[in-house]
Structure 1
Amino acid sequence: MYTLYLLRHGQTLYNLQRLVQGRCDSPLTSTGIQQAKAAGAWLAAQDVVLSAIHSSPLKRAMDTAYAVRDCLHRDARHQVPLIQECPGIIERSYGSLEEGSVDDVPLSVWDPLEEVVPYGGEGSIELRTRMVGALTQVMRDAVAAAEAKGEDACNVLAVSHGSATLQFKLAWEHLAQCDQDQPLGNCCILTFAFDPRSETFSNTAIVNQQL
């Protein structure tokens, strides 16, 4: 089985301050760090052996990925792969709305559809296409690497963002095998079964961190 674990980054200062993040960045809070560690502990408890770790290049995502990797690295039974930057899973741009108050934004921050485009942002159609393309390529590469070693299974971790993760989930909602009406909290983990023949993803679980 080929599995993608799609992880939203941990809580940030901007999350607490209710500011629009997008392509700008803010540091993880202490809670965000604990959420990342909890996600790593969950993966370890499931005995997930990763063949690759990919992260959005934004610091909040990279810091989350490193916290998860450190947690998994404590298990000496398995070698944990290095983190690879993946620009294709970066958060959407909100253009001139970034760093403004979420409460003052005249659209849905989570899913603004194309209403964000006039502000210089990235519309949902473009974001969804980008996320699907990037994560499909990530899984293509992982499957090829596994097959080269004579294996028929692999696990890949990708650390991304709230709105970007939502668009990827919506793209494959028609194939989902779990309840889709669930929150995508900080450091939630979405598991997807990947079919390399049809290059489709099926969401099998959404795990929110309980702290």
Structure 2
Amino acid sequence: MTMIYLVRHGQTLFNLQHKIQGFCDSPLTNLGVEEAKIAGRYFKEANIPLDEAFVSTSERAIDTLQLITDLPFKTHKNLREWNFGTYEGEGEHLNPPLPYGDFFVQFGGESQTDLTKRINQAVTDIAKHSNKQHILIVSHGASIANFYREWEEFSPVKRHGSIKNCSIMAYEYLDDTFISKEIINHDFSNISLDENN
């Protein structure tokens, strides 16, 4: 049995500032660092023996992974976030209503179809070619959401709302199919940042 754990990165500066962040990058905030540590503790406390790790080439994702586990890891460009073209770094108030579809193509970005194809191909390649049982993949909100949509018909566990920072989506990979088993949204309400500043 192969289990895939898809994790969104921790809160970043651009998340905090409500800026569009796809291929562009910004650092984790102090809260984002603590979120990633809590995600890491989840795997330990749930006795999930992560034995392989992959991550987007974006620094925010790499930093998150390194706070979750000390496993060696491989970067993968196709695990990156949606390319929003010239909308990168602009305010989120400029986003069109969902679904975005082909909206960002006219601004040099990618279509939803292309994003879905590349994230699905990346995760499938990882699952298909790995001989490990518990694989951690750190990626991004829109990428993970579109992966979920691709396999939603096989998902007994349904998603409600957006993909939260450092949430974990657990999939079983069986017979070339990804079956959602659990969605873990952590309680970050007790995080105190006074000690970390």
**TM-score where L is the length of structure 1:** 0.86
Q: Where does residue 84 of structure 1 map in the other structure? A: 74
Q: Secondary structure, in 3 states, of the residue corresponding to 2:69?
A: helix
Q: Secondary structure, in 3 states, of the residue corresponding to 2:103?
A: coil
Structure 1 residue 206 corresponds to structure 2 residue 183 = yes
Paired with 1:180 and 1:66, the residues of 2 have a C-alpha distance of: 26
* CA offset digits 1:4-37 (Å, max 9, x no partner): 0000000000001000011111000010001100
Paired with 1:140 and 1:68, the residues of 2 have a C-alpha distance of: 24
Q: Secondary structure, in 3 states, of the residue corresponding to 2:14?
A: helix
* CA offset digits 1:55-106 (Å, max 9, x no partner): 0010000000000014xxxxxxxxxx30110111111110010110001233
Paired with 2:109 and 2:97, the residues of 1 have a C-alpha distance of: 12
Shift, 1:107, TM fit: 4.4
Q: Secondary structure, in 3 states, of the residue corresponding to 1:121?
A: coil
Find the partner of 2:137 among 144, 148, 158.
158
CA contact (8 A) 1:173 1:180 kept: no
Paired with 1:46 and 1:28, the residues of 2 have a C-alpha distance of: 25
Structure 1 residue 51 corresponds to structure 2 residue 51 = yes
Shift, 1:116, TM fit: 1.4
What residue identity is the alignment partner of 1:119?
F
Q: Where does residue 26 of structure 2 map in the other structure? A: 26
Q: Secondary structure, in 3 states, of the residue corresponding to 1:116?
A: helix
Find the partner of 1:140 among 125, 128, 144.
128
Find the partner of 1:131 among 101, 115, 119.
119
Paired with 1:3 and 1:64, the residues of 2 have a C-alpha distance of: 20
What residue identity is the alignment partner of 2:182?
A
Paired with 1:30 and 1:165, the residues of 2 have a C-alpha distance of: 23
Paired with 1:100 and 1:179, the residues of 2 have a C-alpha distance of: 31
Per mean C-alpha deviation after superposition, the further-off stretch among 159-168 and 112-121 is: 112-121
Q: Where does residue 149 of structure 1 map in the other structure? A: none
5+ residue gaps, structure 2, are 189-197
Paired with 1:4 and 1:210, the residues of 2 have a C-alpha distance of: 22
Shift, 1:139, TM fit: 0.6
Which structure 2 residues correspond to residues 99-114 of structure 1 after superposition, within 5 A? 99-108=89-98, 111-114=99-102
| Count of aligned residue pairs for this structure pair | 188
* CA offset digits 1:142-181 (Å, max 9, x no partner): 1xx34xxxxxxx0100000011010000000000011222
What residue identity is the alignment partner of 2:136?
L
Shift, 1:46, TM fit: 1.1
Q: CA RMSD in A?
A: 1.2
CA contact (8 A) 1:182 1:206 kept: no
Q: Secondary structure, in 3 states, of the residue corresponding to 1:66?
A: helix
Paired with 2:185 and 2:102, the residues of 1 have a C-alpha distance of: 28
Paired with 2:115 and 2:37, the residues of 1 have a C-alpha distance of: 28
**TM-score where L is the length of structure 2:** 0.91
